[in-house]
Amino acid sequence: MIDIGIVGGTGYTGTELLRLLAQHPTAKVRVLTSRQEAGKRADSLFPALRGFCDAVFEVPDPARLAQCQAVFFATPHGTAMQMAPALLAQGVKVIDLSADFRLQDPAVYTQWYAHPHTALDALKEAAYGIPELHRDKIAAARLTAGPGCYPTAVQLALAPLLEAGVIETRGIIADCKSGVSGAGREAKIGSLFCEVAESFKAYGVPGHRHLPEIQQGLAWAAQAPVGITFVPHLVPMNRGIHATVYARLKQPGIDLHKLFAERYADEPFVDVLAKGEHPETRGVRGGNVCRLSPHLAPDGETVVVLSVIDNLVKGAAGQAVQCFNLMFGQPETAALQSPGFAP
């Protein structure tokens, strides 16, 4: 069994990691840290885990973590960059679910996260953890940056079009909608039930931290800068991201469905719907899958790609486990093969 440590397991991403890893055939969580909940069983915070998880929160102890073979960070930004270098130096592989290693340019990091990056060497070697786009690099990495939830949905929606060079690379629109778990398990007024239920709103139109990450990833796919407007919205539901992505075709006549089906033909976790269908977020709830449906709008020149994921699974913990599997030579689908969950 591969010994796993999780730093910061009290949020929704952390509990989802525990849920998935509880079913992993060759890995086991040995260390689970939380300064605040130290001494409590994980299943006392998350009763859905009762019977499936014995882990007890403990104060983070570098020595204990260094005994693991892999450490996941499910912490706010700023923590992983402090602790990862020492772990790497001791031979521990790291999968960071925070933002610390997503942006390769430290200046861009500082601009959006308002503090300097303090682990520049680690940053240089970090793989960007979308296996469908960077599988080989992840498999060879000691450190993987788990992508943001919105960036995952948007990049998988646009990669086939940008790689094939069939759309204009300016004026792309990513209108994205997320369930509330994307805001984390923090006590703040804006995430209260009564502030969110029976309402819908956009936020962050003037700028959102996932924008530079999306731009970076699309530029890799297009091998050129890409101009995109990204607007996130909050949906009154627990889980799910729906990205509706608009781009202009360079020329008519592309078989969009074929392009997507072929691009993702061998991917176990990308599912291209039949022509004309519309995915629902509940169809991927609990599953590690991105479901895509490309459409040509009635104007004959606008491509509309519908892309749905569960933000906590393919958008966070599931994709992190997928990367872990690659980094440790395990079957990529280990612990990730159970059906979604609806209603």
When binding is defined by CB under 8 A, the residue of 64, 142, 250, 295 that contacts a second copy is 295
Angle 251-252-257 (CA atoms, 0-180°, nearest 5)? 115
The nearest distance, CB 156 to a second copy, in angstroms, is 16
Residue 340 interacts with a second copy (CB under 8 A): yes or no: yes
Nearer to a second copy, 62 or 225 (CB): 225
Nearer to a second copy, 63 or 107 (CB): 107
The nearest distance, CB 41 to a second copy, in angstroms, is 11
Nearer to a second copy, 84 or 196 (CB): 196
CA torsion sign for 55, 82, 204, 299 is negative
Q: Yes or no: say if 296 and 303 are a contact pair by the CB < 8 Å rule.
A: yes
Residues 61-120 that bind a second copy (CB under 8 A): none
Residue 203 interacts with a second copy (CB under 8 A): yes or no: yes
When binding is defined by CB under 8 A, the residue of 63, 114, 194, 265 that contacts a second copy is 194
The nearest distance, CB 201 to a second copy, in angstroms, is 4
Residues 255-294 that bind a second copy (CB under 8 A): 271, 276, 278-287, 289, 291
Name the β-bridge partners of 316.
none
Give catalytic residues, as residue numbers. Answer: 149
Nearest to 284 by CA among 306, 267, 309: 309
The nearest distance, CB 86 to a second copy, in angstroms, is 31
The nearest distance, CB 323 to a second copy, in angstroms, is 20
Stretch that binds a second copy, among 88-96, 103-111, 140-148, 223-231 (CB under 8 A): 223-231
Distance of CA 250 to the CA centre of its chain: 30
d(CA 94, CA 131): 16
Distance of CA 26 to the CA centre of its chain: 22
Residue 207 is given by DSSP the state -
Residue 193 CB coordination number (10 Å): 9
When binding is defined by CB under 8 A, the residue of 39, 51, 91, 252 that contacts a second copy is 51
Stretch that binds a second copy, among 89-97, 112-120, 144-152, 198-206 (CB under 8 A): 198-206
The nearest distance, CB 121 to a second copy, in angstroms, is 30
Nearer to a second copy, 37 or 123 (CB): 37
Nearest to 320 by CA among 4, 64, 1, 103: 4
Name the β-bridge partners of 292.
272, 307
Pairing of strands 302-309, 290-296: antiparallel
Cβ contacts of 192 within 8 Å, gap of 6 or more? none
Residue 223 interacts with a second copy (CB under 8 A): yes or no: no
When binding is defined by CB under 8 A, the residue of 76, 219, 236, 250 that contacts a second copy is 236
Residue 240 interacts with a second copy (CB under 8 A): yes or no: yes
Q: Yes or no: say if 308 and 281 are a contact pair by the CB < 8 Å rule.
A: yes
Structure token digits, residue 328: 């440790």
Total interface residues for a second copy by CB under 8 A: 84
